Amino acid sequence: MNAIERIESTGVIAIVRLDDYSRAVDLVRALIDGGIDAVEFTYTNRQAGSAIEAIKSALGDDVLAGAGTVLDPETCRSAVLQGADFIVTPTLNVSTIRLCQRYSVPTVIGAFTPTEILSAWESGATFVKVFPASAVGPRYLKDVSGPLPQVKLIPTGGVSTENAGEYIRAGARAVALGGNLVDAATVANADWSTIAARSRAAVEAVRLARAG
């Protein structure tokens, strides 16, 4: 499967937003043990590019390494050259979408209103990240998906193992989990079994929701 198919198949993206990415490889191994192989490292930390290089070197195609919080095409190009398999933005930036198309790299483009969501899709976004999803909840995705069924939505912000299934049933193609999946204390304690267990629970929530 290609990157797009893998993201849709598993249905979960792990968002890693930490002050320290030095344990990135061990963290990703734990996520993979739980069934999540798409992992986004946010560029709010300048170590993100190095973390992507490290996990791709150690794990290769076992992981889809994403670059998150990408605000401009310059950061996007740097991330792609460092090995990013997909690009995630918090807002709509058409220039970033076009650069990713040039490199054939999938995008998860942030948007909120129906107008922004459709604009991102028409501009070539692979997926549209509904952010912050916590502000509107699963019902909003269902309402948006009604007139825009062609748009592949991924809710982000406040998504957890407890509500992931609700978002899938509301029409999400996948969900993205951040602090509810990967938190600083658990990583600092190298509690990889807990990370793997959370990963497994998230994947199972998506599977059960899809199974009805």
DSSP 35: T
| CA atoms of 176 and 152, how far apart (whole Å) | 13
**Exposed e or buried b per residue across 33-70, where buried means at least 16 C-beta atoms within 10 angstroms of its C-beta:** ebbbbbbbbbbebebbbebbbbbbeebeeebbbbbbbb
CB 184 within 8 A of CB 18: yes
| CA atoms of 157 and 164, how far apart (whole Å) | 11
| CA atoms of 182 and 176, how far apart (whole Å) | 11
> What is each CA distance from 179 to 16, 19, 158, in whole angstroms?
8, 13, 8
Angle, CA of 58, 60 and 66, to the nearest 5°: 100
Write out the catalytic residue numbers.
40, 129
